[in-house]
Amino acid sequence: MGIKYRRVLLKLSGEALMGQLGYGVDPNVVQEISTEVAEVVGDGVQMAIVVGGGNIFRGLKAAAGGMDRATGDYIGMIATVMNALTLQDALERMGIPTRVQTAIAMQEVAEPYIRRRAIRHLEKGRVVIFGAGSGNPFFTTDTTAALRAAEIDAEVIFKATKVDGIYDADPHQNPNARRYESLTYGHVLAHDLRVMDSTAIALCKENNIPIMVFDLTERGNICRAVKGEPVGTIVGGFCEVR
């Protein structure tokens, strides 16, 4: 099938699940994402997912309004579990066995995060969705994605966004913004390109995990990404800036 990556971690923002809605989850978007995930899993790709919760609650924004930062982050972690369970339901309705593992104990609805169990699920062809972030406040779900990717020995992180890669300026505000084909970790950090937060980039650099940034809204991009096709921008240790 021309598959390049056999074990991948897909990072989804909560906003990606929102679609064109102002809040919550768009069932059509969840269905489209689940359909693509089901296709690549059917081809033998081992898929883990980290999902954010910004479509429901953003701890940083709440903290800016006066809420205790740690409390806001914990509420945001619970929001990610809601999204994880939504994705699990959509995938299992397609016949894809799925497990949700959370960094905060919620044994009635999900398994606790256990690294070796997560890897075993992947080996058995199950999709594993990591909820509740890292279980600690002050850490983003981007950092969680880098951490879990390192723990499960993922070959790549797919950072699925609403833009088709990394630009040297905001393409929505600057029509002359240039899209990069590839970047080094150092360039991303030095120029503060905000692909992921700096802690996540540093973790990926330390563990030599490439990051592929691409447009989630274009049908088939996940399938093309697992084949190594140039669907966006790749960040890695041996990439040239171009």
Reading the block at residue 63, the tokens are 């903290």
The verdict on whether residue 130 carries a ligand-binding annotation is no
The verdict on whether residue 139 carries a ligand-binding annotation is yes
Sequence-distant (≥ 6) Cβ neighbours of residue 41 within 8 angstroms: 47, 96, 125, 127
The verdict on whether residue 134 carries a ligand-binding annotation is yes
Give phi and psi for 32, each to the nearest 5: -65, -45
Residue 210 CB burial class (10 angstroms; 0-12, 13-18, ≥19): buried
The verdict on whether residue 122 carries a ligand-binding annotation is no
The verdict on whether residue 136 carries a ligand-binding annotation is yes
The verdict on whether residue 13 carries a ligand-binding annotation is yes
The verdict on whether residue 58 carries a ligand-binding annotation is yes
Give how far Cα 12 sits from Cα of 23, 121, 174, 235, Å: 16, 20, 25, 17
The verdict on whether residue 102 carries a ligand-binding annotation is no
The verdict on whether residue 141 carries a ligand-binding annotation is yes
The verdict on whether residue 85 carries a ligand-binding annotation is no
Sequence-distant (≥ 6) Cβ neighbours of residue 219 within 8 angstroms: 32, 36
The verdict on whether residue 11 carries a ligand-binding annotation is yes
Q: What's the CA dihedral at 141, 19, 232, 178 to 10 degrees?
A: -100
Give phi and psi for 132, each to the nearest 5: 65, 25
The verdict on whether residue 137 carries a ligand-binding annotation is yes
The verdict on whether residue 167 carries a ligand-binding annotation is yes
The DSSP secondary structure of 8-23, one letter per residue, reads EEEEE-HHHHHTTSSS
Annotated binding-site members for UMP? 53, 73, 134-141
Annotated binding-site members? 11-14, 53-54, 58, 73, 134-141, 161, 167, 170
Annotated binding-site members for ATP? 11-14, 54, 58, 161, 167, 170
